[in-house]
Amino acid sequence: TAREVYKEEKRVRHDVRALVNCIRAKVSDRAKPYVHLTATSSDIVGSANALRYKDVVLKVLIPALTELLSVLVRQTLHEAATTQIGRTHGQHAVPLTFGFACAGYVNRLGESIEALRELAGALPGKFSGAVGAYNASALFFGNPEVFEKEVLAELGLSPAMHATQIVPPEAMTRLFAEITIVTGICANVADDMRQLARSEIGEVSEGFGAAQVGSSTMPHKRNPITFENVKSFWKIIVARTTLVFMDQISEHQRDLTNSASARTYGESIVYAVGIARRLTGAIKNLSVDRTRMAENLEKGKDAIIAEPLYILLASLGHPDAHERVRTLVAEARVVRCSLLEAVAKADDLAPYLSKMTLRQKKILSGETSYTGVAEKRARSIAAYWKRRFGV
């Protein structure tokens, strides 16, 4: 039992040898000599770590992330046609659809989940002895590499092509780098939703319980606490991943400078699962205010038509369309008129406006949405990942 091993460890002051002694005490005299024979501690611990991190990623983390992806796919399809003002540098840009924005999260998340699956499945084990050269097992086997392969196959692992006393750290480092990436994607989703929930924007809001309190002194507060929690957990993971990278260095065939830090790796996976589950719940209960999205779009109407106006003027032969539209925008701001009004008064643009098609004029007037193929792309991306993951 674990209790017996801990008791023995206090006596011998070596964790794996304590385990070996406890196992030897439970088996027959004939079997005793073979317990741990040809192995070093890291053959046991390194292979066990590969197995447990593989299992927890494949059986716990990826299912949690897949559920999040499923919820985001539904959100993407539900809001595929919901027009929203795009924002770059915190400023109004040009329109898209809220579903198209969500499709970006779906695509990034799907790619990262697939990378996690591949990296977790590629974690190697070892059973090659004290310095990785099969010194002990070569006493008995002409081809000890085959013996190692057979031992690890029992665990569903493959051996590293080369090992020292330890498994090469790069495979584990890559796995935790990807865990940091996937939780960074989650943090980006959370941060965007938190920004859209600002009082001044108000396009989405986090679900709020009937008895839930947002502030100890301000009764009106409804804070995006889950989205903030997600970002906070991600910060912890980023910091912890630095330890994984620092543990990449082990002198010569092995040192113990990772003896404490490596024991904390599992905590990052706990935080990652927590992020996935919290964010899934928040997106499931997300309230989307389409009216507010339309109002914000209307507020930025002038800015929205600047790009299509420039593009259309250039396509119709204007020699310096970008600069002409830029000066028009500046003039309209000074005299406090709309850009359309400024365009109508600009006699030099009349010949170009007369050549525009009815559809192009409707885009400039706001009668037709200037969203490109945002809705189409949102639906196709959602359909792709829905099909790929079977969600």
Q: Is the pTM of this model over 0.85?
A: yes
Could you give the CA distance from residue 109 to residue 284 in angstroms, rounded to a whole number?
16
Q: What is the DSSP letter of 95?
A: E
Task: Give 36-59 pLDDT, tens digit per residue.
Answer: 999 999 999 999 999 999 999 999
CB atoms near residue 338 (< 10 Å): 12
Q: What is the pLDDT of residue 207?
A: 78
| pLDDT surpasses 80 at 216 | no
28, 89, 252, 354: which is the annotated catalytic residue? 89
Own/partner contacts of 131-138, CB < 8 Å, gap of 24 or more, are 131/164, 131/165, 131/253, 132/162, 132/163, 132/164, 132/165, 132/253, 136/37, 136/38, 136/39, 137/38
Helix axes 265-284, 170-196, angle to 10 degrees: 30
Q: What is the pLDDT of residue 302?
A: 76
8 Å CB contact between 84 and 203: yes
Question: Which 3 state secondary structure label does DSSP give 245?
Answer: helix
The rounded mean pLDDT for the chain is 94
Torsional class of 206: left (φ above 0), alpha (ψ -120 to 50), beta (otherwise): beta
Question: Which 3 state secondary structure label does DSSP give 84?
Answer: strand
Where does the pLDDT of residue 215 fall: very low under 50, low under 70, confident under 90, or very high at 90 and above?
Answer: low
14, 162, 215, 315: which is the annotated catalytic residue? 215
Greater confidence, 2 or 367? 2
Whether 215 is catalytic: yes
Whether 252 is catalytic: no
What domains does the chain contain, in order, with CATH numbers? 41-127+169-206+214-295 (1.20.200.10), 300-374 (1.10.40)
Q: What is the pLDDT of residue 300?
A: 80
Rounded to an integer, the average pLDDT of 234-258 is 95
